[in-house]
Amino acid sequence: MIGFMPPAHLVVAVDLVVFTIRADQLHVLLIERGNPPFHGKPALPGGFVRDTENLHAAAERELHEETGLNGHDFHLQQLGAYGEPDRDPRGRIFTVAYLAIVPDLPAPLAGTDASDASWVPVTQAHGLAFDHDQILADALEAARVRLEYTTVATSFCPSEFSVTDLRRVYEVVWGRPIDPRNFHRKVIATEDFVVPSGNKRAAVVGRPAMLYHRGSATRLNPPMLRHSEP
Amino acid sequence: MIGFMPPAHLVVAVDLVVFTIRADQLHVLLIERGNPPFHGKPALPGGFVRDTENLHAAAERELHEETGLNGHDFHLQQLGAYGEPDRDPRGRIFTVAYLAIVPDLPAPLAGTDASDASWVPVTQAHGLAFDHDQILADALEAARVRLEYTTVATSFCPSEFSVTDLRRVYEVVWGRPIDPRNFHRKVIATEDFVVPSGNKRAAVVGRPAMLYHRGSATRLNPPMLRHSEP
DNA sequence: ACAAAAGTGTTTTCCATACACCCATGT
DNA sequence: ACATGGGTGTATGGAAAACACTTTTGT
């Protein structure tokens, strides 16, 4: 299998950096490669772009194959193109990386093509195949920046969530604590960031939280400020 | 020439959106296509990525071919990949767009391969070949955003420039006036945004301006705020 | 002296931070 | 009653906007 050369028109792939939050930790979806090169190594899920589909559709298809998600239950956005001549030992293969943000899936990967896929804490995701370490690092920084200026944080949450759930997203992705009171006021004050669902969380302990759905806003104005370390 | 199909490995191109400011107007570098498809139409400069070069190097090479610039006299950054199946009638050709920002060139395009290239005000750059209208629109928005959070505005200026020159960049790209006094204080207060050259502008009229070089900073913290329209 | 552009000071307004406090629920 | 987390009010500091003012040159 060494030296396999893909058909000439298959020189553009898409790779996905799929983030979710499980147990208050940021996780990324990785597969274990079943073929050379990098046989047995962890890698980002991805595949070649088909003749009739555009880049975004290819990314959506891959995401569906790996997670079973479709519709608009996720955030999917292009990160950029990677094209070092030697990035793939099979030959000159360009890849377009996509950042995907999904809620913690109840039945994560059952019934999908990718039973070989698994969630790995980003803190432990090293030594990936190809240039995927670099792509993952870029994706992490992009996700942190997007939390500042957009409403993507809600894409980490299920359909119904509390303000505290949303705050945990910021704390986990940014890796620093946020004042609950000020965060609450800011989220509520930002128009169409979240809309009340009318329900309340069954309280395990303490006052039950009001629940919200994602609002229609996409940009955060003013942004959530992430300061440099104190 | 109709129906020309590039060699199979040449399916990835880079296209450049080169911005400069001339006569207080934002201009973009366009070529007139000498071959089908879109013969005679304006288009962004670009070309195929060579076997041994990475994407950034290909973009740098194209920029040098079109403008004669090399070294670090410019800003060059990837915008993203475009890959609609029908974006090029010759076949499936992906392109990676780059945003380039250069100072107003003294002898703009003399002695370059591209005597067919010319500066066009962005307000008049419509009806471009391929999907270049879309790429140009994306590049313009990206440039506006980057002026907020980075120091790229200095890349529009020659080696030595005044604070007022820099303010004009913001006003031209954003298309709205800025208070000269507050802008001045903010630029000077931001560490390493600009460094004094020690020289003064020969005054045509009024008090001569102090001149500056680009500083070492790349990110603007705090950012230049571009408010929504009043 | 005057015009014109560069650069500084001052006031006001707004927003982020910090933190005290009240609210709603389970035990 | 009280512990626990959810949510609100308020004082303070710092930065942005608005704008009056001073400085430096050429004519």
Using a CB–CB cutoff of 8 Å, tell me whether B5 touches chain A: no
Of A125, A140, A132, nearest to A93 (Cα)?
Answer: A132
Using CA atoms, how far apart are residues B38 and B41, in angstroms rounded to an integer? 5
Length A136 CA → C4 C1' (Å): 55
Using a CB–CB cutoff of 8 Å, tell me whether B217 touches chain A: no
Q: Which of B57-71, B88-102, B166-180, B184-198 is the least confident region?
A: B57-71
Question: In chain B, where do the E strands start and end?
Answer: 12-22, 25-32, 42-43, 46-48, 75-82, 94-101, 117-121, 194-200, 210-214
Residues of chain A with pLDDT under 70: 1-10, 106-115, 228-230
Using a CB–CB cutoff of 8 Å, tell me whether B53 touches chain A: yes
Mean pLDDT of B131-151: 96
Residue B95's pLDDT is 98
- pTM value is 0.93
Using the structure block, give the residue that is written with the tokens 């990835």: B12
Length B147 CA → D22 C1' (Å): 31
Residue A72's pLDDT is 78
Using CA atoms, how far apart are residues A44 and A51, in angstroms rounded to an integer? 22
Q: Say whether pLDDT at B4 is over 60.
A: no
A197-221: string of b/e by CB count within 10 Å (b at 16+)? eeeebeeeeeeebebbbbbebeebe
Using CA atoms, how far apart are residues A114 and A123, in angstroms rounded to an integer? 22
Contact residues, chain B, for A94 at CB < 8 Å = 12, 55, 94, 96
Quick one: CA dihedral A121, A124, A127, A133, positive or negative?
A: positive
pLDDT digits (tens, 9 = 90+) for A70-107: 877 899 999 999 999 999 999 999 999 999 999 997 65
Using CA atoms, how far apart are residues A193 and A153, in angstroms rounded to an integer? 10
Residue B207's pLDDT is 93
Higher pLDDT, B72 or A15: A15
